[in-house]
Amino acid sequence: MSLLASITTPTDLDALSWAELDELAAEIRTFLVKSVSATGGHLGPNLGVVELTMALHLVFDSPRDSIVFDTGHISYVHKLLTGRQDFGRLRSAGGLSGYPSREESEHDIVENSHASTSLAWAEGIAKGRRLRGETDACTVAVIGDGALTGGMAWEALNDIAADKDLPLVIVVNDNERSYAPTTGGLAEHLAVLRATRSYEQVMSWGRRTVESVPVVGPRAFEALHGMKKGLKDIIAPQVLFEDLGLKYLGPIDGHDVDALATVLRRARDFGGPVIVHAITQKGRGYQHALDNADDAFHAVGVINPETGLPLEIAGRSWTENFSDTLVELGEERQDVVAITAAMLIPVGLREFAEAHPDRVLDVGIAEQHATTMAAGLSFAGMHPVVAIYATFLNRAFDQMLMDCALHGQGVTFVLDRAGVTGSDGASHNGMWDFALASVVPGIRVAAPRDGVRVGELLREAVAIEDGPTVLRFPKGTEPEPIPALDRIGGLDVVARHGLDDVADPDVLLVAVGAMAPVATGAASLLADQGLRVLVVDPRWVLPVSEDLVALARTAGYVGVVEDHVAANGIGSAVAAALAETGEPVTVHRFGLPKTFFTHDSRNRILADAGLTAPAVADAVLASVRPTDTPA
């Protein structure tokens, strides 16, 4: 039996020798490459935290001791060491989540995979236990250098530093990257630590090469404390943390289990908040990941593990259409500037950065800062394009409302991965943006139905200078373009059955963005039942246009189809706009239920929510031609 197969609980690690732990680390990397290649998932980050996770479970007694991962995509090794080794359906329905999951294991704490939250969670857990008189447990936060750029992390550090007796260990997993290379002043500070000559000398003392120190690696650091110039003086740049009042240990080789375990024990026994700075290598042990400078192996689809190449050839993505148009706009307008929150490549800004490197700003994982800085850029005469995932707009809402909208600043938000994303689970579904935007006075929101409309609407959005605009589109491959048959004011007519014009349809379906194929498919099915059906795409969905209100007042049935929470979505906005006219028009809302979806494919989640053409058509028929029921 392999060593990995013998690990069913973290305590099984205690029986292994140092040599066996090294062998186990190699087995885990082989397992990860083979398994994640077959399912897709976060490969590079997990390859980098193998020894670190092993050391955590050697030193801390999970679940009595709580280990909080930030972000949770680095939890694959943790899952393996806590008895979850069936990765055959990773990130699929019925299989393991790609993030920590309380449903899966008592060892998992925080399921939310939004970065920079671990320190606040861990501080709360540690203080709560102390208030309850529980003194036999420790709390650990594992945070990457990328997540450490987020404002919440520094708010928590400021508070933690004021509590000198809080039993809290903060492990900084420093691999110089978040999704892409980490940027900013903190990144430069950590780089100084990594580059310190004394650090390099100490780290070169592997546990097998220095016999004069009883437990080499960390013992070498301890020995330095006895010198005239102790570790604090030899590796001076750590003062950023110690000036905050936080005990600092490191930098430590994040791939030396012995060194890590010894330092983590020192941190655990210190009796107050401690930062352990571990240097790791993202993608370690898999040459394709190490050779890939643009982080294509951060998260992978199904790939050939031998070549690292994808086995599924995707078509052109929604993101690529945004990227191409933004590059064109950058050539045409010198005032267009792009902002990313540590996600330059995933949100399609790489080409713009190559063409206009001085007009791309990466602020780290700090969407709030990005948004208010965008307001300032707008005030200074630029037009910022803030490109983020739709789920992360949640974090920037106050700034969008109070800094951008209140001040009438022309800022364009481009929300990638809007609607259902699926396999990354509840925290990554971008299904709240319409509800958030709908309460912002004066905001304008566009939802393109295909790639052609992405370009058109982006151009229209950046032309608006008196307030914020939002453009949102889903994850994945774009659909075939759906041409407009006609234009009614600002509305595109995308399907018409049994009608010579647009007046008085039996059924009016309002297709919101990527739901246009569903709405047009449902219209075709309804036409087969003899109904006169009209499908329109509002293009700009907020505020609700007067043209749409006027058209809806003539229809026998009005339905709004959107991949967003039905409550407070576009259907709700259309209903509110119609109610203001005093007309008794019922708006039927086809959207997502107000719930947190477990990980599954996008198509299955949409189908379960009734967002398919047959399901929409059946629901419409049930309303316009109700079946008589027995008394």
As annotated, the active-site residues are: 282, 367, 395
Q: Establish whether 286 is an annotated binding residue.
A: yes
Q: Establish whether 480 is an annotated binding residue.
A: no
Please give the Cα distance from 284 to 501 (Å, whole number).
63
Provide the β-strand partners of residue 507.
Answer: 533, 557
Q: What is the CA radius of gyration of the chain?
A: 27
Structure tokens at 17: 């020798």
Q: Establish whether 146 is an annotated binding residue.
A: yes
Given phi > 0 = left and psi -120 to 50 = alpha, else beta, which region is 137? beta
* 3-class DSSP assignment, residue 495: strand
Q: Establish whether 113 is an annotated binding residue.
A: yes
Question: What are the helix (H) ranges across 401-543?
Answer: 433-437, 451-462, 516-527
The residue type at 582: G
Q: Name the residue with tokens 């052609």.
A: 452
Strands (E) in 109-152, as ranges, are 139-144
DSSP H/E element including 553: none
Please give the Cα distance from 482 to 452 (Å, whole number).
9
> Chain-centre distance of CA 300, in angstroms?
14
Question: What are the helix (H) ranges across 444-505?
Answer: 451-462
3-state secondary structure 324-366: HHHHHHHHHCCCEEEEECCCCCCCCCHHHHHHCHHHEEECCCC
DSSP H/E element including 568: none
Q: Name the residue with tokens 């992360």.
A: 392
| Residue 538 buriedness (CB in 10 A; 0-12 / 13-18 / 19+) | buried
Q: Establish whether 145 is an annotated binding residue.
A: yes
Taking the alpha carbons at both ends of the chain, their separation in whole angstroms is 66
Provide the β-strand partners of residue 300.
Answer: 41
3-state secondary structure 275-334: EEEEECCCCCCCHHHHHCCCCCCCCECCECCCCCCECCCCCCEHHHHHHHHHHHHHHHCC
Structure tokens at 173: 């997993």
Please give the Cα distance from 613 to 616 (Å, whole number).
5
Q: Residue 503, Cβ neighbours under 10 Å: how many?
A: 10
Summarize the annotated binding site for thiamine diphosphate as residue ranges.
73, 113-115, 146-147, 175, 286, 367
Known binding positions for Mg(2+) = 145, 175
Binding-site positions read 73, 113-115, 145-147, 175, 286, 367
